[in-house]
C-alpha cells in the first residue's frame, strides 16, 4: 500500500509515529515539479528538519529519498515497490495565509492522487472554515483522511491534534490565558517574539494579516491576557530535551508566564492512518 502524507512540519512527531506504525521501509519526500531551484532548496531544508524525527530509523532500516512525483513513479515501477510513504511537508509560514494553504493542499492532493492509495492530511482547519476544508477533501479522487474529534469534526489546529479538543478545552477552562508550545514548534521558532507573531497569524487567519506586524499590540496582548505556557511533551525524551527546555523557559521568562507540562499524543493521527487503511 502506498500512503500519501501532506503535512505541516509542526507535526513531525505524529507523522514519525505514522511511519513506524505503517511498517514501510521506503519513504519518499516529494519535491516540487517542474524544477524550480529556489523552491527546491527551500523544500529540501524543510524535509531535512522534518526527517530528524526518524533519523535513527533512517540509519538502520528506512530508505529515504527526495524525488519529484515523476521520479517516484519510475522508481516504484522499476523496483516493483508495493509499500511506501510519500510525504509532502509544507512550511510553517503557510498557516498565516489560509487561502494559500488550501490551494497548496489541493495542488499536492492532485499531484499525489495517481500514485497513492489514500492520503493522510496532517492539518487542522488552520484558519479555514470546515466547509472549505471538506470541499478540498471531497474533490479529490483518492480517499483523504484527516484527524477529527469524537463527533467527526475536523480539529482546529495542531494543538488539538496533539492533545485532543476536549483536553484543550479543559486547559482553557482552567486558565483562559494559556499559550501552547510543542517540541517541533519550539525547535522551528526559538525566539519568544517570533513564536508569538506566528501564533497570532495562525489565530487571525487571512482576515487580519496586519495583526502579525503590530509588535507593540502583540506584546500588550501577551502581557494582559496570558498567564501560563503549556509545554507539550510526547515522551520523557521531550521532557529531558535541553534545547526545548531553554526555549520554553526563555518564552515564559520574557512574558512572565507559569509553565505547565502536559503529555501529548499521536493517537488522532494514528486513528486517521487506520481509517485510511480500512477504506
Q: Which residues contact residue 105 at a Cβ distance below 8 angstroms, ignoring those fewer than 6 apart?
A: 6, 90, 121, 123, 136
pTM of the predicted model as reported, rounded to 2 decimal places = 0.88
pLDDT digits (tens, 9 = 90+) for 34-90: 767 888 888 999 999 899 887 777 667 888 999 999 999 999 999 999 999 999 999
Task: Based on the fold, state whether residues 86 and 186 are members of the same structural domain.
Answer: no
Distance CA 56, CA 167 (A): 31
- Of the pLDDT bands very low, low, confident and very high (cuts 50, 70, 90), residue 214 is low
| Structural domain span for residue 120 | 2-156+266-278
- Of the pLDDT bands very low, low, confident and very high (cuts 50, 70, 90), residue 221 is low
Task: Based on the fold, state whether residues 147 and 167 are members of the same structural domain.
Answer: no
User: Is pLDDT at 8 greater than 70 in this prediction?
Assistant: yes
pLDDT digits (tens, 9 = 90+) for 115-174: 999 999 999 999 899 999 999 999 999 999 999 999 999 999 999 999 999 999 999 999
Distance CA 198, CA 157 (A): 13
Top-confidence residue, 225 or 99: 99
Task: Based on the fold, state whether residues 21 and 144 are members of the same structural domain.
Answer: yes
Task: Based on the fold, state whether residues 199 and 147 are members of the same structural domain.
Answer: no
pLDDT digits (tens, 9 = 90+) for 168-212: 999 999 999 999 999 998 887 765 555 555 555 444 444 444 444
pLDDT at residue 99, as a whole number: 92
pLDDT at residue 37, as a whole number: 83
Residue 211 CA to chain centroid, in angstroms? 23
pLDDT digits (tens, 9 = 90+) for 120-129: 999 999 989 9
Q: b/e string for 87-110 if b means 16 or more Cβ within 10 A?
A: bbbbbbebbbbbeebbebbbebbe
Task: Based on the fold, state whether residues 274 and 227 are members of the same structural domain.
Answer: no
pLDDT at residue 136, as a whole number: 96
Task: Based on the fold, state whether residues 144 and 167 are members of the same structural domain.
Answer: no
- Of the pLDDT bands very low, low, confident and very high (cuts 50, 70, 90), residue 225 is confident
Task: Based on the fold, state whether residues 18 and 147 are members of the same structural domain.
Answer: yes
Task: Based on the fold, state whether residues 150 and 68 are members of the same structural domain.
Answer: yes
Task: Based on the fold, state whether residues 40 and 127 are members of the same structural domain.
Answer: yes
Distance CA 45, CA 124 (A): 23
Q: What share of the chain is helix, strand, coil (3-state, %, to 5)?
A: 60, 20, 25
pLDDT at residue 264, as a whole number: 97
pLDDT at residue 56, as a whole number: 74
Top-confidence residue, 218 or 245: 245
C-alpha cell at 89: 511537508
pLDDT at residue 187, as a whole number: 85
Task: Based on the fold, state whether residues 213 and 270 are members of the same structural domain.
Answer: no
> CATH no. for residue 143?
3.40.50
User: Is pLDDT at 217 greater than 80 in this prediction?
Assistant: no
* Phi, psi at 179, each rounded to 5°: -110, 140
Q: How many domains does the chain have?
A: 2
Task: Based on the fold, state whether residues 33 and 112 are members of the same structural domain.
Answer: yes
Task: Based on the fold, state whether residues 142 and 176 are members of the same structural domain.
Answer: no
Name the nearest CA neighbour of 27 among 45, 13, 47: 47
Amino acid at each position: 500500500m502506498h500512503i500519501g502524507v501532506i503535512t505541516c512540519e509542526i507535526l513531525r512527531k505524529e507523522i514519525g509515529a505514522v511511519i513506524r506504525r505503517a511498517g514501510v521501509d521506503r519513504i519518499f519526500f516529494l519535491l516540487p515539479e517542474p524544477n524550480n531551484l529556489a523552491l527546491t532548496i527551500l523544500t529540501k531544508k524543510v524535509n531535512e528538519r522534518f526527517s530528524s524525527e526518524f533519523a535513527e530509523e533512517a540509519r538502520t532500516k528506512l530508505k529515504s529519498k527526495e524525488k519529484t512525483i515523476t521520479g517516484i513513479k519510475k522508481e516504484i515501477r522499476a523496483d516493483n515497490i508495493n509499500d511506501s510513504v510519500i510525504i509532502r511537508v509544507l512550511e510553517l509560514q503557510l498557516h498565516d495565509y489560509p487561502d494559500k494553504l488550501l490551494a497548496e493542499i489541493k495542488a499536492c492532493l492532485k499531484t499525489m492522487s495517481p500514485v497513492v492509495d489514500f492520503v493522510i492530511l496532517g492539518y487542522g482547519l488552520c484558519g479555514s472554515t470546515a466547509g472549505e476544508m471538506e470541499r478540498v477533501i471531497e474533490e479529490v479522487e483518492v480517499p483523504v483522511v484527516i484527524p477529527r474529534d469524537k463527533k467527526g469534526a475536523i480539529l482546529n489546529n495542531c494543538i488539538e491534534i496533539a492533545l485532543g479538543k476536549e483536553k484543550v478545552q479543559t486547559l482553557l477552562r482552567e486558565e483562559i490565558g494559556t499559550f501552547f508550545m510543542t517540541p517541533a514548534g519550539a525547535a522551528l521558532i526559538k525566539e519568544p517574539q517570533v513564536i508569538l507573531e506566528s501564533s497570532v497569524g495562525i489565530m487571525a487567519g487571512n482576515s487580519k494579516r496586519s495583526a502579525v506586524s503590530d509588535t507593540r499590540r502583540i506584546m500588550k496582548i501577551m502581557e494582559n491576557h496570558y498567564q501560563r505556557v503549556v509545554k507539550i511533551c510526547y515522551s520523557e525524551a521531550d521532557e529531558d530535551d535541553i534545547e526545548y527546555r531553554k526555549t520554553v523557559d526563555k518564552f515564559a521568562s520574557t512574558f512572565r508566564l507559569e509553565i505547565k507540562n502536559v503529555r501529548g499524543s499521536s493517537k488522532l493521527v494514528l486513528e486517521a492512518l487506520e481509517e485510511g487503511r480500512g477504506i
